[in-house]
Structure 1
Amino acid sequence: MNTVNKDRIEKAYPDYKHPIEKAFQTGQAHIFSWWSEITPAEKLHLLEQISLIDFTLLQKLFHESFISASDTFRKNLQPPPIIGIPENITEKKAAEKAKQVGEDSLRNGEIAILTVAGGQGTRLGIDGPKGMLPISPINKKSIFQLHAEKICALQTKYNAMFPWYIMTSETNDNDTKEFFCSNKFFGLDQQRVYFFTQRMIPAVDMNGKILMNTKSNIVMSPNGHGGTILALQERNIINDMKERGIKHIFYHQVDNVLIKMADPVFIGYHLKDGAEVSSKVVKKRSPEEKVGVIVSLDGHLHVVEYSELSQEDKYAKNNDGTLKYNAGNIAIHIFSIAFLEKLFQMETYLPYHIATKKVPFIDLNGNLITPKENNAIKFETFIFDVLKHVKKGVLMEVVRKEEFSPVKNAEGDDSPAMAQQDMVNLFGKWLRKAGVAIPKDSNDNVKGFIEINPCFAFDEEDLIKNVAKDLEFRGFLNL
């Protein structure tokens, strides 16, 4: 570790004078400790990194991380109003009316699709973005291809174009773009597929010092899924959407293979109620399921994370014996452009949360250390924090087995194998409604393999219209 001469660095690289000064002013001069040892290319890389860091914000976030959050709001929690799964004639008529409103909006080209796809597939055994994972039951199409085909089907069904905005991370942005290019954008017009990255923020140690994992590289992390909203503003994407006549954004995460893309019923309820933000929810599997729940807090929608919910609230019951706080957040939302524009006028609309993690780093001697205990603080924003600014919101319950199957783990729950079975089971359900006999095993799973291209049938209604009346299932069906 060497003595750092700020003036000499600034003189050699005058274009980076301001961020160099900010690094020194905020007590982060140690990031230049190995300046005399690194190559010119490595120096430029480090300077590029620091030019993107808001050192004042980082200092503020670290000091604020010691202010503990109050739990006094817990007593004000209430279950939120939810549009339930339609069961009787009245509810089914309401859903049909909402669908008509949503379909009108789709035909008018008012909806954009926004997919959050910043994650890597490392835990799933692939070296690349999670969206590249081969997942479909028979043809092994990637998750990205499944989403692309649903958008293609939507465009044909409603005779309209739906721009697709994909938020990547610095880690996987190039790989994602190359994957789309090599697959010719899966038949979509590449001029209507837009990639953008979220902001990265340094990880710091328990003393607030920026961590480095080489002598020329700062440890950076994505700023959380709330970074999607921040990026819409910072990258001027909202204005691009408005120029294309977009009024509402359909938001989802890349790993949900059952996503009902731009669901017209959901869009319809959002529009009919004049909502600013709408969210889909599912019933929790059990009180202990590790999923955030949407509640009502002082008249506003609010997401309480699994770890924040008290044991009493986790197990609280309604009079009919159902869980009181049962609206599981599945990260499917609609955002009104007009609401986001109002949000962007606020000085601070998304607070940062801290997460303590184990992060490899180099010590004062330049040796790489792999910690056994948490040694770092990462700062993240959560998209659902915008809910406190929402005056009018809609929650719509959906059937988990029909709309929510995320791929997060290599095995067990939320694994690729489970996602494939969930797809087969959904297609089997559609076929039964169309009058095709589909056998089940003792676990209520379809016996056999089924895959249905969205361009053949986007949903159950399409399948009933398009499938051959004399179709027989013999254990394998690829439509």
Structure 2
Amino acid sequence: MGDQEAAHGAAAAGAALPPLPPGSEEGGCPPWLEALRRRLHGCGQQHALAFWGELAGPQREALARELAEADLEALRPSLHKAVAAGQPGQPGQPGQPGAALEPLPEELCGSSIASDPESLRDWEQHGLLQVAEGRVAIVLLAGGQGTRLGVPYPKGLYDVGLPSHKPLLQLQAQRILRLQRLAEERHGKRGALPWYIMTSGHTREPTLAFLREHGFLGLCEDDVRLFEQRQIPALTPDGKVILETRGRLARAPDGNGGLYRALGDSGVLADMEARGVRYVHAYCVDNVLARVGDPLFLGFCVRKGADCGAKVVEKQSPGEAVGVLCLADGRARVVEYTELGDEQARERDHSGRLRLRAGNICVHHFTLDFLKLVVREFEPQLPFHVAHKKIAHVDESGNRVEPTKPNGIKMEKFVFDVFPFAKKFVQFEVRREDEFSPLKNSDSAGVDCPSSSRRHQMALHYRWIQGAGGRIVDEQGNDAPSPAEESETPTICEISPLISYSGEGLESHVKGRTFRSPVILGDP
């Protein structure tokens, strides 16, 4: 008998229960409170009511609601399973002896870098056709706050410091608008391109308020829908829920893999189906270079008949902290860099490149049919992963504690854990400098930070101008340094997404012209 079953059995057999906290029995203990108390006792979480007697009515209602929504009986077993799975040396664990890791076969791989021009044109044209026909939806993973950036608001509202000072959400919305126009220009139809934004309890209201204040950033309000992922109680290492305050659990979003349950619970999948959506493009909010709804990637996946796909960039070094897309015992999956053994990470192929080099950048393609299958059958099978965090809480006396080192565990699911369930999975390699610049840290870290995101975005636009026949010079008339170069006076350069999605259509703006920094092609 498992721990959970044993606990239920003890409660059912009339095991002694601790008394209710002071003040709980005023006027008699209501049946729902007695049921909650027994439930908490049965799964070893009775301390959650330690301050019940001190709470006002609304606080009691809020805490009872949190406890009712939490899958309390599954928390400890899920934690134990996740911790065990993360232990090194588990038989067959990726990166361990016995786990066969291989690159995806060539026939399942595409590339914006190495594929022939005819294939690239066909994939892009076919992708734009899907957009024009209204068969595409875009899902944005935007549950993260800007805590590591040092701001108290969602990452999507962050301004990396471009001349326009557009926050990430605005840049991405304008790419959607430009993509719709491109599809209409190529195919004569303007299909709806719905944008579904997955938020968390912390990011929903600020994100919605921002969208409303800015007129949904030029998009049709009916085509923008927010939905919320679950929050899971944070736990002590021995599996007890942590109280953030006397009347509130410490909770955290259930990871980007919470997408699948949220799609079902919110009715988003049903909405997609009603709209005639067939294909879904999913990406993370914190990549300033993200090609939202990329028709080239979409067209490749559709032409290949894939039910699931992922964009990748080539790893820069064996030790780079990025998950690797590969086949593990014949099934597509992402192996985290911490799971990859040193020997496997360093192994080279005949060309001298890393054998396992496909770095995952969290840009994914799904068919709607595959997502429906995941929600219906596979989501409960997705594993939890543990993250050791510093979690503010109240101690046994109810005093606030701000820990200086990790004291608890947050459990989360990963979006890529559905890859092994795909019948046909494909990968698509892109240039890092064109499509991947994550925003994770404050500038003090020096990498994956606002200054690097800003530099990479401006360097991309600098290359677009050069590619379209424009020239950027310094005060002496010499070619100005790219924003990507180390320079005391780097070129300032920005092109509105409303003018160009991926460098197209710039000849009429720049060909044969000479510019001096700052070079700004703003909203038309």
CA distance in 1, matches of 2:141, 2:36: 30
Aligned residue in 1 for 2:104: 80
Shift of 1:334: 0.7
Aligned residue in 2 for 1:169: 200
Shift of 1:226: 0.2
Aligned residue in 2 for 1:26: 43
Matched, 1:61 2:78: yes
Aligned residue in 2 for 1:146: 171
CA deviation digits over 1:342-382, x for unaligned, max 9?
22332623111222333232222222333444332221111
More off after superposition, 446-455 vs 255-264: 446-455
Shift of 1:181: 1.0
CA distance in 2, matches of 1:10, 1:473: 79
CA distance in 1, matches of 2:442, 2:334: 27
Aligned residue in 1 for 2:471: 437
* Corresponding residue to 1:236 among 267, 272, 290: 267
* Amino acid corresponding to residue 79 of structure 1 in structure 2: P
- Relative distance call for 1:66 and 1:250 in structure 2 (3 A) is closer
Does structure 1 retain, via aligned residues, the 8 Å contact 2:306–2:426? yes
More off after superposition, 320-329 vs 57-66: 57-66
CA deviation digits over 1:121-147, x for unaligned, max 9?
233232211111113521111111101
Aligned residue in 1 for 2:9: none
CA distance in 2, matches of 1:256, 1:148: 13
- Relative distance call for 1:207 and 1:286 in structure 2 (3 A) is same
Aligned residue in 1 for 2:149: 124
Aligned pairs for 1:239-258 within 5 A = 239-258=270-289
Shift of 1:202: 0.6
Instruction: Quote the RMSD (CA, aligned, Å).
Output: 2.3
Matched, 1:160 2:185: no
Does structure 2 retain, via aligned residues, the 8 Å contact 1:10–1:17? no
Does structure 1 retain, via aligned residues, the 8 Å contact 2:482–2:491? no
Does structure 1 retain, via aligned residues, the 8 Å contact 2:229–2:258? yes
CA distance in 2, matches of 1:255, 1:420: 12
Does structure 2 retain, via aligned residues, the 8 Å contact 1:124–1:410? yes
* Amino acid corresponding to residue 358 of structure 1 in structure 2: K
Aligned residue in 2 for 1:471: 513
Does structure 2 retain, via aligned residues, the 8 Å contact 1:112–1:246? yes
* Amino acid corresponding to residue 233 of structure 1 in structure 2: G
Shift of 1:76: 0.7
- Relative distance call for 1:442 and 1:86 in structure 2 (3 A) is closer
Aligned residue in 1 for 2:186: none
- Relative distance call for 1:443 and 1:271 in structure 2 (3 A) is closer
Aligned residue in 2 for 1:285: 316
CA distance in 1, matches of 2:377, 2:147: 37
- Relative distance call for 1:293 and 1:97 in structure 2 (3 A) is same
- Relative distance call for 1:205 and 1:475 in structure 2 (3 A) is same
> How much identity, in percent, do the aligned residues show?
33
More off after superposition, 452-461 vs 226-235: 452-461
* Amino acid corresponding to residue 64 of structure 1 in structure 2: K
CA distance in 2, matches of 1:277, 1:103: 19
Aligned residue in 2 for 1:332: 363
TM-score, length basis structure 2:
0.86
* Corresponding residue to 1:455 among 482, 494, 498: 498
Does structure 1 retain, via aligned residues, the 8 Å contact 2:79–2:384? no
CA distance in 2, matches of 1:68, 1:443: 44
CA distance in 1, matches of 2:35, 2:256: 29
CA distance in 1, matches of 2:151, 2:482: 32
Aligned pairs for 1:292-307 within 5 A = 292-307=323-338
Shift of 1:57: 1.8
Give SS of 2:515's match.
Answer: coil
Aligned residue in 2 for 1:311: 342
Runs of at least 5 residues in structure 2 that lack an aligned partner in the other structure: 1-17, 184-189, 473-478
Does structure 1 retain, via aligned residues, the 8 Å contact 2:282–2:363? yes
CA deviation digits over 1:430-479, x for unaligned, max 9?
11111111334388539421211121222222223x42544321112221
* Corresponding residue to 1:390 among 422, 432, 445: 422
CA distance in 2, matches of 1:9, 1:291: 56
* Amino acid corresponding to residue 441 of structure 1 in structure 2: P
Does structure 1 retain, via aligned residues, the 8 Å contact 2:390–2:404? yes
- Relative distance call for 1:10 and 1:330 in structure 2 (3 A) is farther
* Corresponding residue to 1:199 among 193, 215, 230: 230
CA distance in 1, matches of 2:218, 2:83: 50
Give SS of 1:72's match.
Answer: coil
Count residues in correspondence. Answer: 476
CA distance in 2, matches of 1:181, 1:320: 52
Does structure 2 retain, via aligned residues, the 8 Å contact 1:287–1:315? yes
Does structure 2 retain, via aligned residues, the 8 Å contact 1:277–1:333? yes
Does structure 2 retain, via aligned residues, the 8 Å contact 1:349–1:386? no
Shift of 1:68: 4.2
Shift of 1:10: 11
TM-score, length basis structure 1:
0.93
* Amino acid corresponding to residue 53 of structure 1 in structure 2: A
Shift of 1:14: 5.6
Shift of 1:103: 1.5
CA distance in 1, matches of 2:234, 2:202: 15
CA distance in 1, matches of 2:139, 2:483: 35
* Amino acid corresponding to residue 498 of structure 2 in structure 1: C
Does structure 1 retain, via aligned residues, the 8 Å contact 2:113–2:431? no
Shift of 1:59: 3.4
* Amino acid corresponding to residue 267 of structure 1 in structure 2: L
CA distance in 2, matches of 1:238, 1:97: 29
More off after superposition, 346-355 vs 213-222: 346-355
Aligned pairs for 1:170-185 within 5 A = 170-185=201-216
Shift of 1:427: 0.9
CA deviation digits over 1:301-347, x for unaligned, max 9?
11110111111111111122111111000000011111112223326
